[in-house]
Structure 1
Amino acid sequence: MNFENILVDNNNGLGTITINRPKKLNALNKATIEELHHAFKNLNEDKSVKVILITGSGEKAFVAGADISEFAHFSVQDGGKLAAKGQEILFDFVENLSTPVIALVNGFALGGGLELAMACHFRIASDNAKMGLPETSLGVIPGYGGTQRLPQLIGKGKAMELIMTAGMISADEAKEYGLVNYVVTPEDLFPLAERLAGKIMRNSSVAISKAINAVNANFKDGVNGFNTEIEQFGACFGTADFKEGTTAFLEKRKATFPNK
């Protein structure tokens, strides 16, 4: 599939998606959201891909927000449909992907950009990154999961402050609050991501996908995360990866997972 707004690469099991709208500071419009959905779907279905990285082109912005020009004149119904579709095909979709997704936050991650980063399984940032949810300054609220994921990640009080003030925080503050895992120079962002991806890729991709499912269950209404963990734990016993992992441990050698 040919993309106009993103770049996609697959190199030795590491998939990379780069949002490539530098003149718009990589802002998310409907076309870009659709393209991201297909890119994530394709990489997730490719069994050779073990980890997916997502970033923005250039050093100014990961994603500077949504493309406001597309929805400035929407009705109540249109606004609701916009949020519902976006959450379904991209933000919730990424969160529940079976392949680990790491966000590389380079520069501004605002509004929909921060919401996209928060939908990823974890985040690392360059030291020039700035993050925030400025929607209330436009007379609207975050609509792509921001009011839900930000409190989960940094706590209700700080999330309320950031949303109400429409303020931005630095990369170091984001690390202090637990929003990102690491802060490095822009030059070190990809090397760090590759090292983390390498550590992930040494483990069972089947077990990792089940761990993602179990962790996410804790944040879903009406779902008992402990029960999900029990189910996913038990399911691991029927996999070739479990047989290889335990056999390798007992034989005191490194496991070579078939990822089945």
Structure 2
Amino acid sequence: MATTFENLLYDLDAATGILTLTVNRPNKLNALNATTIAELGQAIAQARQDGAVRGILLTGSGEKAFVAGADIAELAQLSGPAAQEAAARGQAVFREFETSPKPVVAAVNGFALGGGCELAMACHIRVAAEHARFGQPEVNLGLLPGYGGTQRLVQLVGKGKALELLLTADQVKADEALRLGLANHVVP
């Protein structure tokens, strides 16, 4: 069964019960815009209700990025209250992934930056390609992560390292992410 979205591929393997969700904006490094966030919300809601779905694999199109953050062009157009509403919507969607009774595995196949790192952290297990990079670069824009990344990062890597990553915008390679607990596995 396949459900059609604009920025998301939804593909359920009926034989295994594995649903593959693929953020499909490779020309934008799979950046999250309002449409993509809404579609992720619809997809996880559908998956949680579908008895045929036994597990969820979340990834990004192409080899460069899992999700390289928020769509900055769209974000720049938002007023303060609108940005807060967008952050609240993203937080709610990511919470649905995090609290899913079905296992959610992030296949991090490239950059997982900003909202992409936050989305990966909302998954139960993170499997990173050797070339993957994780980071929270929002501070470079005068922002903090908006989708719950500050809390999840502390839970995964500890307060000291989380503060360092959040305040310096440093990126972490896959092997370092594994050592820190940000990734569960690294694969070629």
Aligned to 1:10: 12
**Residues 171, 75 of structure 1: CA spacing in aligned structure 2 closer, same or farther, 3 A cutoff?**
same
- 1:83 equivalenced with 2:94 (yes/no): no
Deviation at 1:111, TM superposition (A): 0.2
Deviation at 1:40, TM superposition (A): 1.3
Distance 2:166 2:78 in 1: 22
Distance 2:94 2:32 in 1: 12
**Amino acid corresponding to residue 168 of structure 1 in structure 2:** Q
Counterpart selection for 2:73 from 48, 69, 73: 69
Query: 2:133, 2:172 within 8 Å by CA — same for their partners in 1?
Result: yes
Higher relative contact order (CA 8 A, sep 6+): 2
- 1:137 equivalenced with 2:140 (yes/no): yes
Partner secondary structure for residue 36 of structure 1: helix
Deviation at 1:82, TM superposition (A): 1.4
Counterpart selection for 1:60 from 39, 64, 72: 64
Listed as ranges, the matches of 1:12-27 within 5 Å are 12=15, 13-27=17-31
Counterpart selection for 1:116 from 112, 116, 119: 119
Sequence identity (%): 57
Cα-to-partner distance string for 1:67-94 (whole Å, 9 max, x where unaligned): 0111214322222111112111x11111
**Amino acid corresponding to residue 63 of structure 2 in structure 1:** E
- 1:155 equivalenced with 2:158 (yes/no): yes
Counterpart selection for 1:183 from 162, 178, 186: 186
Aligned to 1:50: 54
Deviation at 1:104, TM superposition (A): 0.4
Structure 1 stretches of 4+ moved >3 Å: none
Partner secondary structure for residue 103 of structure 1: strand
Distance 1:29 1:138 in 2: 17
Deviation at 1:2, TM superposition (A): 2.5
Deviates more, 1:64-73 or 1:27-36: 64-73
Distance 1:36 1:77 in 2: 22
Aligned to 1:173: 176
Distance 1:80 1:42 in 2: 26
Partner secondary structure for residue 162 of structure 2: helix
Cα-to-partner distance string for 1:81-131 (whole Å, 9 max, x where unaligned): 11112111x111111111110000011000000000000111110000011
Counterpart selection for 2:36 from 32, 36, 47: 32
Cα-to-partner distance string for 1:219-251 (whole Å, 9 max, x where unaligned): xxxxxxxxxxxxxxxxxxxxxxxxxxxxxxxxx
Larger Rg: 1
Distance 1:69 1:37 in 2: 21
Distance 2:180 2:84 in 1: 30
Partner secondary structure for residue 123 of structure 1: strand
Query: 2:98, 2:122 within 8 Å by CA — same for their partners in 1?
Result: yes
Number of residue pairs aligned between Structure 1 and Structure 2: 184
Provide TM-score, normalisation by structure 1: 0.69
Query: 2:128, 2:183 within 8 Å by CA — same for their partners in 1?
Result: yes
Partner secondary structure for residue 71 of structure 1: helix
More strand by share: 2
